[in-house]
Homo-oligomer: A and B are copies of this chain.
Amino acid sequence: MQLLKDKIRKDAKIIEDRIVKVDGFLNHQLDITLFNEIGKEFKRRFSSKQVTKIVTLETSGIAIASIVAQYFNCVPVVFAKKHAGLNMNQDVYEAKVYSYTKDQEYTIKISREFLDPNDKVLIIDDFLASGSALMGLINLLSQSGAEISGAGIVIEKSFQGGRKLVNETGIQLESLAIIDSIKDGQVYFVTR
């Protein structure tokens, strides 16, 4: 998605040729116009799939998933919680996820009442790197019996191995910007 790649080249901050910081438009300040374009693009890529629910992960996926849902007939969004409050239902599906940016293992949870075997779920998330978050969500969704219609990622860092894990599941994976490498503060995208 050219618009997104241009935005990353222009506004992302590269730290130690390893971290792509997109706080300015994707996960602290949110560019709602860009998110609408992202929604249209995911709709185009998953146009043949049935989607009854969009599932994402707290925190960065929530805003993107909510805007994207508008392009899939405003289906409900369910986000897996990392920081469950005292009021959270104890009857949950859960899975372990390791966060590299926080150097911490989380248990992600979704209340059982919000997923069932009739659901056809599109997973949306901001980043794919090692695949830990996405594989955690896939594991959690498998427990519910829901069908996974696909996984839509905004930015993929291809050199961290996540795609290989997802491909083994057979799930359609669509990333809107795939970073091949980072060198001297410059981002190089995979061209397709």
Contact = CB atoms under 8 A, between A and B. Distances in A.
Select the residue from A15, A87, A110 with max chain B CB neighbours within 10 A.
A87
B83 A63 contact: no
A102 B30 CA distance: 26
A78 interface: yes
Contacts of A82: 83
28 contacts: A19-B87, A23-B111, A24-B113, A28-B78, A28-B79, A29-B76, A29-B78, A30-B76, A30-B77, A30-B79, A32-B69, A32-B70, A32-B76, A33-B74, A36-B74, A59-B79, A59-B83, A62-B63, A62-B66, A63-B63, A63-B66, A63-B77, A63-B79, A67-B70, A83-B83, A85-B102, A86-B103, A87-B101
Given A58-B59, A66-B66, 17 more contacts: A19-B87, A21-B87, A24-B113, A28-B78, A29-B76, A29-B111, A32-B69, A36-B70, A36-B74, A59-B79, A62-B62, A63-B66, A83-B83, A83-B102, A85-B99, A85-B102, A86-B103
